[in-house]
Chains A and B, each alone.
Chain A
Amino acid sequence: MSTNVFHRYANPTKFIGLASAIIPFAWGLTILLGGYGLYLGLFNSPADYQQGETVRIMYVHVPAAWMALGCYTTMAIASAIAIIWKHAVADLIAEETAVIGATFTVLCLVTGSLWGQPMWGTWWVWDARLTSMLVLLFLYLGFMALKNAFDDPQRGTQAARLIALVGWINVPIIKYSVEWWNTLHQPAAVARLDGPTIHPDMLTPLLLMGGAYMTLFTALLLVRVRSHIMERRARSIALALAEARGAGPDEDPAGLRDGATP
């Protein structure tokens, strides 16, 4: 059953159809959730009894952390699908997710540092949570570097798929680092077996922002993959045109993205 679904959307034309139907909703939801979440987070939620107003950093820090892990998981699943079922779109999804996930990881690290200085008394420590999160950023960068490291794009894609899968092992390590080892970072406050330990007045803006980040990721990913497919089509048309005109196929296929006339 699932194989059929994969196969249907492995076809780029069908994928574009589905993506184009989802994209407007994803943008719309991002604006609604993000707008309400920001309003509550900045204007209409209480300060924390210990952290004071710095609790508001949580509303941009924690969703960025969730997305950093979520994007890497997306990348790993897409790479597994590409390896096992050889679906062309799966590789594009992994590639476009990497850029977005890396940005979320940087935002998570920077906002966390800005919270750590006033609350912990330090910008950075090498505890298991912070270190494994930094490793995640390097895994994203490694994926992007490998993707472009080879003259033969197919080899780059294969190497990148491998780092996406192997590196995924870091995701549960990040999640459970605060339980398995003593860390300076506090334990999970939302995704816990015994329920959240955040007051509802603070949990609501946090979940709204989390939802907004997720729909933003969906919109960005689908738009980017759709653009990627269009770029590929443009390239193949340019090659066909160049061949028909008797020029060598390597005349100027690479200049396409700069709008050069082939």
Chain B
Amino acid sequence: MSKAKLKKKRRLYAVLIGMGLLGVATALVLTAIEDTLVFFRTPTDIAAETPAPDQRLRLGGLVAKDSVEPQEDGITTRFVIEDGGPHVVAVTYTGVLPDLFREGQGVVTEGVLINGVFRADEVLAKHDENYMPKEVADALKEQGVWQEGEPAPSPNALPSASYGGKATQ
């Protein structure tokens, strides 16, 4: 093997090994600081590790079916956040809810947990990864594939969900 070729090979290995080490180092750092990378905690997380009484945190999950109760003052809303596990957290929020807020929809709230009730001062709607026209969403509900208030299924995962109609505006 010529000297130039050997040098090229050495540089190739140096780059590959360097990138490999960098990857390992990054993975270690990310694992170590995982708590700060997580944008919100779920009811299960909070059940496992109860936050300090006046600690501000973000609580996220799905708005439980039939749990949204507008309060008498007209601006406060009570609802329950669930994450599919056995734990749920009741939330109260005073303010205007975002357009996407509804039962079965993901939500991220920020506030303080007081006596088991989460008092939120900010509510953000979380969008899911399903994109479909209203006709398809209605068809999925009509066919019973999707129960009202439950998380939406993918418009393409089910053969019965085929939507032959032309796009409408």
The residues of A with any CB-CB pair to B shorter than 8 Å are 40, 43-51, 55, 58, 80, 83-85, 118-122, 125-128, 165-166, 168-169, 173, 180-184, 186-189, 192, 194-202
Dominant secondary structure at the B interface: mixed
Q: Which of B8, B38, B137 contacts A85 (CB 8 A)?
A: B8
Q: Which of A44, A165, A196 contacts B156 (CB 8 A)?
A: A196
Which residues of B sit under 8 angstroms from A197, Cβ to Cβ?
129-131, 154-157
Contact A48 B131 (CB under 8 A): yes
Contact B169 A46 (CB under 8 A): yes
Q: Which residue of A lies closest to B98 (CB)?
A: A121
The residues of B with any CB-CB pair to A shorter than 8 Å are 8, 11-12, 15, 18-19, 22-23, 26, 30, 34, 37-42, 60, 98-100, 105, 108, 123-138, 154-157, 163, 167-169
Tell me whether A84 and B134 are in contact in the complex, defined as CB-CB below 8 angstroms, given that A181-B39, A197-B156 are known contacts.
Answer: no
Contact A46 B126 (CB under 8 A): no
What are 21 pairs between A and B in contact, CB < 8 Å?
Answer: A40-B167, A46-B133, A48-B131, A48-B132, A48-B133, A51-B100, A55-B131, A85-B8, A120-B126, A121-B124, A122-B124, A165-B19, A169-B23, A180-B30, A181-B34, A184-B126, A198-B132, A199-B131, A201-B133, A201-B167, A202-B132
B167 → chain A closest CB, angstroms: 5
A106–B96 Cα distance when bound, in Å, is 30
B101 → chain A closest CB, angstroms: 8
Name which of A80, A121, A127, A195 has the most chain B CB atoms within 10 A of its CB.
A121
Tell me whether A189 and B129 are in contact in the complex, defined as CB-CB below 8 angstroms, given that A47-B169, A80-B15, A199-B136 are known contacts.
Answer: yes
Which residues of A sit under 8 angstroms from B155, Cβ to Cβ?
197-199
Name which of B11, B42, B105 has the most chain A CB atoms within 10 A of its CB.
B11
A62–B126 Cα distance when bound, in Å, is 17
Tell me whether A118 and B99 are in contact in the complex, defined as CB-CB below 8 angstroms, given that A169-B26, A197-B156 are known contacts.
Answer: yes
Q: Which of A85, A182, A198 contacts B42 (CB 8 A)?
A: A182
Contact B39 A128 (CB under 8 A): yes
Contact A169 B22 (CB under 8 A): yes
A202–B23 Cα distance when bound, in Å, is 36
Q: Which residue of A lies closest to B18 (CB)?
A: A165
Contact B41 A186 (CB under 8 A): no
A119–B42 Cα distance when bound, in Å, is 21
Contact B127 A120 (CB under 8 A): yes
Which residues of A sit under 8 angstroms from B105, Cβ to Cβ?
50
Q: Which of A48, A51, A55, A84 contacts B12 (CB 8 A)?
A: A84
Contact B38 A181 (CB under 8 A): yes
Q: Which of B18, B100, B136, B157 contacts A194 (CB 8 A)?
A: B157
Q: Which residue of B lies closest to A129 (CB)?
A: B39
Tell me whether A184 and B39 are in contact in the complex, defined as CB-CB below 8 angstroms, given that A119-B127, A121-B125, A125-B124 are known contacts.
Answer: yes
Contact B39 A49 (CB under 8 A): no
A165–B60 Cα distance when bound, in Å, is 36
| List of 6 A-B pairs having minimum Cβ-Cβ separation, nearest first | A121-B98, A46-B133, A49-B137, A127-B39, A197-B154, A199-B132
Contact B108 A184 (CB under 8 A): yes
Which residues of A sit under 8 angstroms from B135, Cβ to Cβ?
46
Q: Which of B38, B98, B131 contacts A189 (CB 8 A)?
A: B131
A212 → chain B closest CB, angstroms: 19
